[in-house]
């Protein structure tokens, strides 16, 4: 389906310039508005071969994202700029984030340097604390739903599975590799995001999440097996950071951090030592003298080049 056809005169204020082929829910276009601001349009996929149940699911996720982002505003959370309609279906107009989503580490099989992972996880927990303040869970915290901007900040995106805790869903909604046991059991809570944040940190440090394989196998492990010690995969991870992952990903909600703030605080404490030095190690990136020790800013540039 061409971009022009999708938008058939109904959204004159947005001119689509490029389709993004990432993620599975609906279609995404980079567009410009009449003031030449870049935007990201998330619209339902209205192709004929879309099944009715799938179309419903996508529409539902677009409406959930609208609801959440109308309420939740934070520098580390994608901003909803507008809502509009195409072919009488609602769609979301989001700020366009120049950068990349963190799924690339998973596909590149190269873990991020420890310092950078801690910074990402801390900003993620700050963002989650804001979401939770409104009694909403995100429901799909994972590297693919976190973007790193060109100036090295993170933005939490994709609120399509967000919701209010305390309800039993009709089926499991989420990503098995990052979902908490109670979420798999169809009862997501705010604490489910803390579990997913713990597994996200694990995945950033290890280059892959702890449980891999087919969905059924992963779900069984998520329900029954403790998260393996991250240091088995990445010996450079200090003990206190390994302990943070372990506490965030306990099977029992009552044994996890009580809040995202508490987890952020633990991460900040653990990272104080690293941030005393602005120099971080990033394999494969060199400064002008050929050293592998480079500044954080250079690291961001290096990351962009390496994970492109
Ligand atoms: N606001 C944005 N700016 C730039 N790229 C984005 C934005 N939102 C999403 N993307 C890109 O599109 C991908 C899929 O978007 P996402 O919101 O996660 O939808 P899905 O529900 O399909 O996973 C993201 O992983 C990211 O690469
Ligand atoms: Mg997504």
For residue 193, count CB atoms less than 10 angstroms from its CB and return exposed for 0-12, middle for 13-18, buried for 19 or more. Answer: buried
Which among 18, 19, 23, 45 is the best mutation to test ligand 1's pocket, defined by most ligand atoms within 8 Å of the CB?
23
Residue 194 clears pLDDT 80, i.e. is over it? yes
Which residues have C-beta within 8 Å of that of residue 272, sequence separation ≥ 6? none
How confident is residue 291, by pLDDT bands cut at 50, 70 and 90?
A: low
Strand partners, 41: 29, 93
Alpha carbon 259 to its chain's center: 18
* Residue 140 annotated to the active site: yes
Ligand 1 and 227: CB distance under 6 A: no
Which among 158, 173, 174, 177 is the best mutation to test ligand 1's pocket, defined by most ligand atoms within 8 Å of the CB?
158
How confident is residue 284, by pLDDT bands cut at 50, 70 and 90?
A: very low
How far apart (Å, rounded) are the C-alpha atoms in residues 112 and 206? 8
Say whether 215 sits in a helix, a strand or coil. Answer: helix
Using CA positions, which residue lies closest to atom 18 of ligand 1?
Answer: 158
How confident is residue 3, by pLDDT bands cut at 50, 70 and 90?
A: very low
Ligand 1 and 22: CB distance under 6 A: yes
What are the structural domains, with CATH classification, of the chain?
7-95 (3.30.200.20), 99-274 (1.10.510.10)
Using CA positions, which residue lies closest to atom 15 of ligand 1?
Answer: 23
Which among 147, 148, 154, 173 is the best mutation to test ligand 1's pocket, defined by most ligand atoms within 8 Å of the CB?
147
Say which ligand is closest to the CA of 140. Answer: 2
**C-alpha to C-alpha distances, 305 to 85, 99, 255, 294, 299, nearest whole angstrom:** 37, 11, 40, 14, 10
How confident is residue 111, by pLDDT bands cut at 50, 70 and 90?
A: confident
How far apart (Å, rounded) are the C-alpha atoms in residues 45 and 55? 7
How far apart (Å, rounded) are the C-alpha atoms in residues 300 and 172? 36
Tokens of 7: 């938008």
pTM for the model: 0.87
pLDDT tens digits for 211-235?
999 999 999 999 999 999 999 999 9
Closest-lying ligand 1 atom to the alpha carbon of residue 26: 22
Using the mean position of ligand 2's atoms as its centre, give its distance from the Cα of residue 88 in Å.
24
Which residues have C-beta within 8 Å of that of residue 88, sequence separation ≥ 6? none
Ligand 1 and 250: CB distance under 6 A: no
Tokens of 243: 């302990």
């Amino acid at each position: 389906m061409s971009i022009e056809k999708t938008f058939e005169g109904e959204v004159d204020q947005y001119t689509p310039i490029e389709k993004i082929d990432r993620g599975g829910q609906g279609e995404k276009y980079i567009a410009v508005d009449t003031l030449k601001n870049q935007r990201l349009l998330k619209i339902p996929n209205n192709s004929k071969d879309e099944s009715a149940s799938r179309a419903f699911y996508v529409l539902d996720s677009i409406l959930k994202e609208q609801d959440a982002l109308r309420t939740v505003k934070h520098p580390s959370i994608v901003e909803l700029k507008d809502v509009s309609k195409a072919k009488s279906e609602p769609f979301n107009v989001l700020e366009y984030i120049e950068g990349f989503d963190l799924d690339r580490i998973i596909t590149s099989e190269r873990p991020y340097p420890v310092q950078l992972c801690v910074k990402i996880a801390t900003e993620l927990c700050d963002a989650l604390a804001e979401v939770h303040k409104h009694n909403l869970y995100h429901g799909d915290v994972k590297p693919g739903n976190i973007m790193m901007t060109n100036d090295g900040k993170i933005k939490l995106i994709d609120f399509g599975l967000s919701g209010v805790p305390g309800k039993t869903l009709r089926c499991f909604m989420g990503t098995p590799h990052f979902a908490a046991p109670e979420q798999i059991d169809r009862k997501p809570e705010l604490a489910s995001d803390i579990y997913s944040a713990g597994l996200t940190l694990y995945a950033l440090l290890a280059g892959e999440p702890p449980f891999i394989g087919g969905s059924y196998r992963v779900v069984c492990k998520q329900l029954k097996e403790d998260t393996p010690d991250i240091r088995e995969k990445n010996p450079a991870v200090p003990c206190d950071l390994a302990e943070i992952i372990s506490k965030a990903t306990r099977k029992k909600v009552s044994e996890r951090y009580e809040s995202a703030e508490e987890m952020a605080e633990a991460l900040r404490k653990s990272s104080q030592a690293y941030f005393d030095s602005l120099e971080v190690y990033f394999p494969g990136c060199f400064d002008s003298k050929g050293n592998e020790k480079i500044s954080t800013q250079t690291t961001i540039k290096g990351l962009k080049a390496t994970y492109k």
